[in-house]
Every structure is written in structure tokens, then in C-alpha cells.
């Protein structure tokens, strides 16, 4: 692990107990020269802070196993690994996001497993290993509504306790909420956080009836 002084490191911010590197941070600049995510995984999206805040109020069991789908830079997994000692696996279609995830994990002195896979191909056998499935800002195209809904269905059939997703409030996300509420125990909370700045949106929590 490189030495990291959380009070002196330039171009970092601290939020919900983790350190996040800003665009200007030299590690991010170096990564951007080599790895170019292509499916919107080029930055950390704000819904991840919403989900961290929600999880502060609705904590995971200690050392729970979780899968974060469409993980991008994996900050929610990093938060869960630090806050709950979670065993986290970040899954993304785009392998170019993983160097960012691993760099952030290293700065936060946690280890996150990663797997390159489209979320629509995650089997029940794979999902069954996890207590919780998480995702932030993953329902942003019309075609993703069906894919994410089916992922929720497979997860709950496989015995996952809950699927928790955060979103700024896109129409596609609300279509997903409407579909889930017909079949599953579904809570959709308007949510905000002030850390690291004011961010608002929604958190969807789905579990089996």
C-alpha cells in the first residue's frame, strides 16, 4: 500500500468516511491516459453518495457479501468494505473501469473483487452467493429497464435478501420502480445527502414478499 496522509493529499475529497480522488488527482490523470471507459464509466456518479448515505441509516450486516452491478469506479463497494467490512464484488461490462476501482480501493486500504460481465448474464448461481446486490446509476437507457428488472428477479429467486439501487430520478428508473412494485416488496425513498455536497435522488429497495 502506498503511504497516504488523508489530511495532506491534494485533489482528494472525503465523503462518508472514504477518500475520493478528483479529476485533477495525478493518479486519475495517469489512469485516463491509459484506460478509457466507454459506457459512462468515465467518472464517479453522484448517486453513489446517495446510496452510501442510505446505507448509513440502513446498514448491512457485518461482513456481508455483496455484489455491486455496473460498479464503475466501485465507490459504493469501497464504502461498504470500510464501513461494514463487506466482502464486495464489483461487476461491470467495461473492463476499463477496473483500474480506477482498484486505485481507489488501494487509497482506501480495502480490497474489492472485480468481474467483467454484463449484468444480464449474471446467473442465479452467481447471485446466490450474496446477501445484497447494489447499483448506482445503472438504469439510464430504455433497454436497461428490462435488464435490471430481470437481474432483480433472478437475484431474489436466488435468495439475495435485497437489491438496493440509487438513481437521480430518471424516467427509466421510475419505470423500473413501477414494475418491481407489482411483484415484490418495493420501497422507493426520495433521498438526499449533504456529503460531499447537496445531492438528491431516489433509493429503491426491493426484497421478496
Rule CB under 6 A: is residue 39 a binding residue for ligand SAM? yes
Tell me how far, at minimum, the Cβ of 199 lies from ligand SAM, in Å: 11
Q: Which of 81, 97, 104, 199 binds ligand SAM (CB under 6 A)?
A: 97
CB of 180 to ligand SAM, least distance (A): 18
Cβ distance to ligand SAM smaller for residue 45 or 84: 45
Listed residue (110, 6, 15) closest to 66, CA to CA: 110
Nearest Cα to Cα of residue 18 among 136, 113, 109? 109
Rounded CA-CA distance 142/111 in Å is 33
For residues 51 and 80, is the Cβ–Cβ distance under 8 A?
no
DSSP assignment, residue 177? H
Beta carbon of residue 119, minimum distance to ligand SAM (angstroms, whole number):
4
Residues in region 162-201 near ligand SAM by CB under 6 A: none
54's CB contacts (< 8 A; 6+ apart) are: 164, 166, 189, 191, 203
195 is written with which cell numbers?
456529503
Considering only residues 121 to 150 of the shown chain, the ones binding ligand SAM according to CB under 6 A are: 136-138, 140, 147
- Asked whether 75 and 56 are in contact (CB, 8 A), the reply is no
Residue from 15, 18, 19, 47 in contact with ligand SAM (CB under 6 A): 47
Task: Decide if residue 90 touches ligand SAM (CB under 6 A).
Answer: no
Report the interface residues with ligand SAM, using CB under 6 A: 39-41, 44-45, 47-48, 70-73, 92-94, 97, 118-120, 136-138, 140, 147
Amino acid at each position: 500500500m502506498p503511504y497516504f496522509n488523508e489530511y495532506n493529499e491534494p485533489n482528494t475529497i472525503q465523503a462518508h468516511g472514504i477518500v475520493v480522488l478528483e479529476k485533477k488527482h495525478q493518479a486519475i490523470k495517469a489512469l485516463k491516459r491509459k484506460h478509457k471507459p466507454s459506457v459512462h464509466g468515465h467518472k464517479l456518479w453522484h448517486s453513489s453518495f446517495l446510496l452510501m448515505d442510505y446505507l448509513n441509516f440502513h446498514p448491512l450486516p457485518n461482513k456481508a457479501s455483496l455484489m455491486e452491478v455496473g460498479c464503475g469506479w466501485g465507490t459504493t463497494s469501497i464504502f461498504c468494505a470500510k464501513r461494514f467490512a463487506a466482502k464486495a464484488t464489483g461487476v461491470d461490462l467495461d473492463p476499463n473501469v477496473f483500474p480506477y476501482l482498484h486505485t481507489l480501493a488501494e487509497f482506501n486500504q480495502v480490497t474489492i473483487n472485480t468481474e467483467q460481465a454484463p449484468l444480464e448474464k449474471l446467473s442465479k448461481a452467481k447471485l446466490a452467493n450474496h446477501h445484497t446486490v447494489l447499483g448506482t446509476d445503472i438504469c439510464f437507457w430504455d433497454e436497461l429497464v428490462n435488464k435490471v428488472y430481470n437481474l432483480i428477479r433472478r437475484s431474489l429467486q436466488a435468495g439475495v435478501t435485497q437489491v438496493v439501487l440509487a438513481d437521480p430520478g430518471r424516467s427509466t428508473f421510475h419505470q423500473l420502480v413501477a414494475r418491481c412494485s407489482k411483484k415484490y416488496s418495493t420501497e422507493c425513498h426520495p433521498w438526499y445527502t449533504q456529503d460531499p455536497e447537496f445531492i438528491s435522488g431516489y433509493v429503491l429497495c426491493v426484497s421478496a414478499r
